[in-house]
Amino acid sequence: MKPIHHFCTITNHKLLVMKYCFRVGLYRQGLLHDLSKYSPTEFIVGIKHYQGTESPNNAERMKKGYSSAWLHHKGRNKHHFEYWIDYSVNRGEGMVGMKMPVKYVAEMFIDRMCASKNYNKNTYTNRHPLEYYEKGKHRIIMNKDTRALLEKLLLMLASDGEDKTLHYIKDVVLRHGY
């Protein structure tokens, strides 16, 4: 049953992201979102470590010390801030987050919202994506402008709701940028 449950989980997530990407005008990204999850590299790990309450990549990471599926996924999907980590042009600064194009920040926000909906199901509230982000934000490498925009969208979702936030993304962020 794990293959069916995993397939249903990732497909439900993909369809949710597609729905919300379409609402803000990101049609191509909605169609192509997370297709790598169906590749053998990611799908087999997903089946093996499926729990239904969180990403199977976390279970693989606990078992092996790293997640091969995650390394594959983040290197192919530009809506993950980890895709945009590179060495700084300033010598001695090390790894830094690059400024993400706004269309990928919008997709990243939608991805987080839909993951929360997918895993929290009937208990989901508009605060869930912000609360999940807040738990781990201290340990992530992200460009300051990208971080500020993501946080603004997560806070807007939590306080003003889905419709207002999606309208803001469509009418302001995607038209005018950061």
**Distance from C-alpha of 166 to C-alpha of 44, rounded to nearest angstrom:** 34
pLDDT in tens, 115-135: 999 989 999 999 999 999 999
pTM of structure: 0.94
Residues linked to residue 95 through DSSP beta bridges, in sequence order: 87
- Cite the beta strand spans of 74-176 per DSSP E: 85-87, 95-97
**Distance from C-alpha of 39 to C-alpha of 75, rounded to nearest angstrom:** 13
For the chain, which ranges sit under pLDDT 50? Answer: none
Q: Are 39 and 144 in contact (CB under 8 A)?
A: no
Burial of 95 (0-12, 13-18, 19+ CB in 10 A): exposed
pLDDT score recorded for residue 54: 82
Number of residues written out for the chain: 178
**Distance from C-alpha of 178 to C-alpha of 173, rounded to nearest angstrom:** 6
Contacts of 109 (CB under 8 A, 6+ apart): 129, 150, 153, 154, 157, 169
pLDDT score recorded for residue 155: 98
Nearest to 107 by CA among 163, 160, 140, 146: 146
pLDDT in tens, 10-39: 999 999 999 999 999 999 999 999 999 999
**Distance from C-alpha of 169 to C-alpha of 107, rounded to nearest angstrom:** 10
DSSP 140: -
